[in-house]
Structure 1
Amino acid sequence: MGGTKYDSVEYWTSLIRMCLSRFFILHALHMRPLHGYEITKQVAALTRGCCAPTEGSLYPLLREFVEAGVVTVETQVVSGRERKVYTLTPLGERAYSVAARAWAEVACYILEAVKAQSSEICATGSTGKQEVGEERQVAL
């Protein structure tokens, strides 16, 4: 008997990634101005790869942030190559601060809801369990 999307780790992971990508992009830019590839690498490092944006998702989000006045973009020459460097604006800093507070509150509730498994998942970055019919471990 086949499952539904609701019993698929991939479904829930993709929802989490979509929600958190914006936050982690802002977080990376809060630390310092970055070009696109650096943003992807920084978010991957911060989240152990969990929420690293793809090129197809990163640039539309950055364009949205620029249009909203949250981020500025400046073309710079880095190692002989032109790169678009993104920087948070004062509005972007406020947006990051508000988002951080909102996620901090929600994180407490999420951890409480998954308390039985949270220490194992946080320590390993994996559920450590196999999905039915699969022979690989699925990382969150």
Structure 2
Amino acid sequence: MPEYECTTFDPYCLKDRPLRIDHLHIELPSVLKKRLVLGELDSSVIKRGTVNVELLEHYAYDTRTKRHISVKNSLKLAVKASDRRTVELLLVRPIEPPADIFVSVRLSEMIGQRSKVRSNTRFYLYATENNTLNSTSISNDIDEWRSKK
């Protein structure tokens, strides 16, 4: 992307916007044997200041009853063991299906009292009642396809 000079009140100026906005749609497994990494965020875009990472829950509800469910014990942020500049969003406990969840992870740069958002990753998570069956059938289809080669 070529350099773009910002002028005062320029609506197309990207200077103060987040560097990256991602939208991830993930179907969650109903059976969880160990922690599942849903996404990784690289904080190396922040060159100075303090890195601040926030997990924001926008909505989480049971799709059958339309009631709010809590996911604060199921989703956690953790620093990746092999790379201290990477933060992972982990599913540590299964979420009871059927559920529809929207969370985001905001990566900010803090210099003194100022905070500037550097990336915002949105996670649309779905827990369905038959997703273990679907993933098993898909893996079986892939195995059949590989054996035909």
TM-score by length of 1: 0.27
Q: Which structure: larger Rg?
A: 2
Q: Which has the higher helix share?
A: 1
Which of structures 1 and 2 has the larger relative contact order (alpha carbons within 8 angstroms, sep 6+)?
A: 2
TM-score by length of 2: 0.26
